[in-house]
Amino acid sequence: MNAHLPSYIILTDHGHAPRMLASRDIRKGNPIMSYSAHLCILDANADIARVAHSCIPNAFQHWDPDAHEMVLRAIEDISEGTEITISYEQDIETFLMPKFERMQHTRQSFGLLSTCTCRACGPSHVQHGTDDFLRLETAELLELITPLPLLDDDFELSIHTTHINLRQLQRLHERYIENLIKLGAKDHKLCHAYWLLYQFHAYIADHADNEETRSTCEKCDFPIHPLTHLEIAVVALKSAIDICVTCYGKQHHKVQELEQEMQELKYKVVDALSKHFHRNRSVSEYPKD
């Protein structure tokens, strides 16, 4: 059963697919509906199965393993009378495909008969989307930054062998996030982008005293003090958590996992502050016996 008060209506026009419209204003992060696993499997006409596709959706559908429910949440404020949409394709690789490939993939995977006409796709008869170039550019950025923030030997090897220095890597991360925002990403894809930025700076902070890392940083005039990188990591992880809460709700295990990482990160900040304080105190500042 729907666990929340109805916030939508199903509009059925003769000869057209049903449309789900907001019956009242829905705030960002609020649940629109939820269905039990049993109902989702048995009822092909369940309302949650009627939500239309858009490449720039205003809602996010996810499976909650703890509640055994399929949940639909608003990822932006939705005004009364506005159609509620989700992206049928949730992986980042498909999201960054140009219109023709994206639609072809969606048709093959989900049997989508109509062509998306969201602002990213434009009119149905046009082959190229309005932001195809930006999506391809963003896909290239993802290829550059994805292998790097892995906390193992491969990460360290990539830092010292790549032709891209650390300052450039930070800018690539930031540009990747900026592009996703321009493309209208508000869900787990943007959350993951902030998580990558957090991992990148957390790694640099952990290895700030490493001679090779310091040498690499000095070559590109990259801030090496652990606190500098930890502060950026905290901001990035907070952004990831905020997006995760919007998509999944505060009680979801993914949110709890990120919040646990935030606690560990804050301990690192306190430790770095303590070390910085003791390193910068002169002998005369310490109390005498």
Q: Which segments in the chain show pLDDT lower than 50?
A: 1-4, 149-153, 155, 157, 160-161, 282-289
- Exposure string (b/e) for 44-65, b if CB count within 10 Å is 16 or more? eebbbebbbbbbbbbbbbbebe
| Residue-level pLDDT at 15 | 66
| Residue-level pLDDT at 149 | 47
Q: What is the pLDDT of residues 148-201, one digit of tens each?
A: 544 444 545 455 445 567 888 899 999 999 999 999 999 999 999 999 999 999
pTM of the model: 0.85
| Cβ neighbours, 10 Å, residue 90 | 15
HSE toward the beta carbon, residue 66, CA cutoff 13 A: 9
Domains (range + CATH), the chain: 8-86 (2.170.270.10), 98-130 (no CATH), 132-278 (no CATH)
Which residues, 6 or more positions from 131, have their beta carbon under 8 angstroms from its beta carbon?
120, 182, 183
Across the chain, which distance is largest between two alpha carbons, in Å?
90
The beta strand positions in the chain, using DSSP E, are 8-11, 19-22, 31-36, 52-53, 59-64, 69-74, 85-86
Length of the chain equals 289
| Residue-level pLDDT at 125 | 86
